[in-house]
């Protein structure tokens, strides 16, 4: 989560340390479930494909953080996974990295990956 989003959530939660961030009296669990509906409406209004679901944002976040930091433990903690096998789904080796690894013994130059 970005520092900006973290600051916004801290302001919203104030000193509260448990419970839902976006509570709802309409939901039995106390959690607002409309965010998925809002996401679908925004997706439709933006003419994005229907196979883009809210879960994709979480997966994209995990993948990008892992690519930029290489820190699987940090990704596991931030997305809430306890099993390394589950967190490994965020690992998508870039083709250039694979090629560089295969060409390592052949004196290949190092490959810089733009993220």
> Residue 95: which pLDDT band, with cuts at 50, 70 and 90?
low
User: What pTM value is reported for the model?
Assistant: 0.42
Distance CA 68, CA 113 (A): 10
Check whether residue 43 and residue 59 sit in a common domain: no
Check whether residue 94 and residue 59 sit in a common domain: yes
Per the structure, the count of domains in the chain is 2
In this predicted model, what pLDDT tens digit does every residue of 17-75 receive, in sequence order?
A: 777 766 667 666 655 566 777 888 888 999 988 887 777 677 788 888 888 888 888 88
Structural domain boundaries enclosing 92:
53-108
Check whether residue 41 and residue 60 sit in a common domain: no
The answer to whether residue 113 sits within a structural domain is no
The answer to whether residue 100 sits within a structural domain is yes
Check whether residue 59 and residue 103 sit in a common domain: yes
Check whether residue 57 and residue 101 sit in a common domain: yes
* Tokens describing residue 54: 């809210």
Distance CA 49, CA 20 (A): 30
């Amino acid at each position: 989560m970005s520092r900006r989003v973290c600051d916004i959530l801290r302001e919203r939660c104030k000193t509260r340390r448990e419970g839902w961030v976006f509570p709802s009296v309409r939901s039995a669990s106390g959690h607002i479930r409309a965010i998925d509906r809002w996401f679908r409406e925004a997706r439709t209004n933006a003419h994005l494909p229907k196979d883009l679901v809210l879960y994709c944002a979480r997966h994209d976040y995990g993948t990008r953080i892992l690519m930029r930091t290489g820190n699987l433990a940090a990704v596991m903690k931030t997305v809430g996974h306890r099993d390394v096998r589950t967190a490994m789904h965020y690992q998508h080796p870039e083709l250039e990295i694979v090629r560089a690894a295969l060409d390592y013994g052949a004196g290949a130059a190092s490959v810089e990956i733009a993220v």
